[in-house]
Amino acid sequence: MTKNELIQKFEAVFGEGGEIVTVFSPGRVNMIGEHTDYNGGHVFPCALTIGTYFAARKREDTKVRFFSGNFEKAGVVERDITAMEFDREKGFSNYLMGMVWTYAQKGMVVDAGMDIYLWGNIPNASGLSSSASIEVGMGKVINVLFGFDVCNKDIALLGQYSENNYNGVNCGIMDQFAIAMGKKDNAIFLDTATLEYEYAPIVLDGMKIVIICTNKKRGLADSKYNERRTECETALAELQKVLDIKALGELTEAEFEANVDAIKCPVRQKRARHAVYENQRTVKAVDMLKSGDVEGFGKLMNASHVSLRDDYEVTGIELDTIAEEAWKIEGCVGARMTGAGFGGCAVAIVKDEAVDAFIKNVGENYVKKIGYAADFYVVEIGDGTGILE
């Protein structure tokens, strides 16, 4: 959507006049490093060229009015800066109000209302972080409209704060960071323990990144996510009785295996094993990619899926079917689930000449086994959240 189209949509709902700010905030896909970001490990996500578009204008009163082009039937959803509490009935607007609330919590009080039009082309509930895209985009909107001077990296932290404390999902920093800090044609190699990061060009000569959406209804994903996080925290506390560490991400595979008996329950041992091995795998995978070894990178993507399936147990039959069917395709360099899991999406690197066969075969076999269709997207890596010019 262009800036002009966006402004027209805004004016059709909220009327003309005043200064209108326009922002684009991408979705993200994580190439490798899953469920490591709340364990002090590394992640390797990139921003996509699909995302959420915002047009916004300040109001004279205290009303905050949202209109989503994706949920037109919901009409204008009205909130107020004098009553910012989470309100389950008001659906998506909680991600937006959460940011108003978060700015206030951090001493940057939003002292007037706003009219906001938004529209996104990230598939709904796909695990490509439409919620973080909305949070970071809203953070940018507030920043510009109210003249706060928060850099994108800090907007990412505000987004995570809002998700944790307003929306009640105990997520790590990966999604908001990838969205706020993304760079065209690059993935971000981020150390979540220190927030040090480096851009690594994704040079895929003759290959494409394909995202496969399971279309599974998400259900209990948030509560299971929080449960995994608690399991890792308990395992860490048990390891800390014998090791001087702050996070699972500090351990090598060998250090972990030498001390695994400190973790008293076999399920927690598996969870922690995934966190440790996945972090090490991510560091190795990025090294391989930097040295031009895309095939090696792909093999580690496959290994990541296996670990998420067997040790972390967050895949499920839908994501497993996609990964296993993808691995059978000649020309599929690597494939794995991406994001939190429990449905959502998988990501694959596929050679150009194999993309059509990949979509056809994986698609057909998915329907046969699961009973409904998956969606396929050949995606591009884009820039992070910014003003739409």
Report d(CA 378, CA 209) in Å as an integer. Answer: 6
- Residue 381: phi and psi, rounded to 5, are -90, 125
Lookup: tokens for 294: 């895309």
| List 175, 231, 238, 318, residue binding ligand GLA (CB under 6 A) | 175
Question: Does position 174 bind ligand GLA by CB under 6 A?
Answer: yes
Task: Report, in Å, the least distance between residue 323 CB and ligand GLA.
Answer: 16
- Give the nearer residue to ligand GLA in terms of CB position, either 59 or 284: 284
Tell me the CA distances in angstroms from 15 to 57, 62, 156, 275, one per residue in order: 11, 18, 31, 51
Lookup: tokens for 77: 């959803």
Lookup: tokens for 152: 């994108």
SS3 386: strand
Task: Report, in Å, the least distance between residue 169 CB and ligand GLA.
Answer: 7
Question: Does position 325 bind ligand GLA by CB under 6 A?
Answer: no
Question: Does position 339 bind ligand GLA by CB under 6 A?
Answer: yes
DSSP assigned state of 124: T
Task: Report, in Å, the least distance between residue 34 CB and ligand GLA.
Answer: 4
Residue pair 354/109 in contact (Cβ under 8 Å)? The answer is: no
Question: Does position 278 bind ligand GLA by CB under 6 A?
Answer: no
Task: Report, in Å, the least distance between residue 370 CB and ligand GLA.
Answer: 22
Report d(CA 297, CA 281) in Å as an integer. Answer: 9
Amino acid at 101: W
- Give the nearer residue to ligand GLA in terms of CB position, either 86 or 372: 86
Question: Does position 171 bind ligand GLA by CB under 6 A?
Answer: yes
Question: Does position 232 bind ligand GLA by CB under 6 A?
Answer: no
Instruction: Tell me which of 37, 175, 191, 311 is the catalytic residue.
Output: 175
- CA dihedral sign, ordered 287, 290, 294, 295: negative
Give residues with Cβ within 8 angstroms of 253, minimum separation 6: 276, 277, 280
**Residue 287 annotated to the active site:** no
Question: Does position 190 bind ligand GLA by CB under 6 A?
Answer: no
Task: Report, in Å, the least distance between residue 57 CB and ligand GLA.
Answer: 30
- Give the nearer residue to ligand GLA in terms of CB position, either 35 or 65: 35
Question: Does position 340 bind ligand GLA by CB under 6 A?
Answer: yes
SS3 294: helix
Query: What x-and-dash track marks residues 31-70 binding ligand GLA by CB under 6 A?
Result: ---xx-xx--------------------------------
Annotated catalytic residues are 175
Binding site for ligand GLA (CB under 6 A): 34-35, 37-38, 171-172, 174-175, 339-340
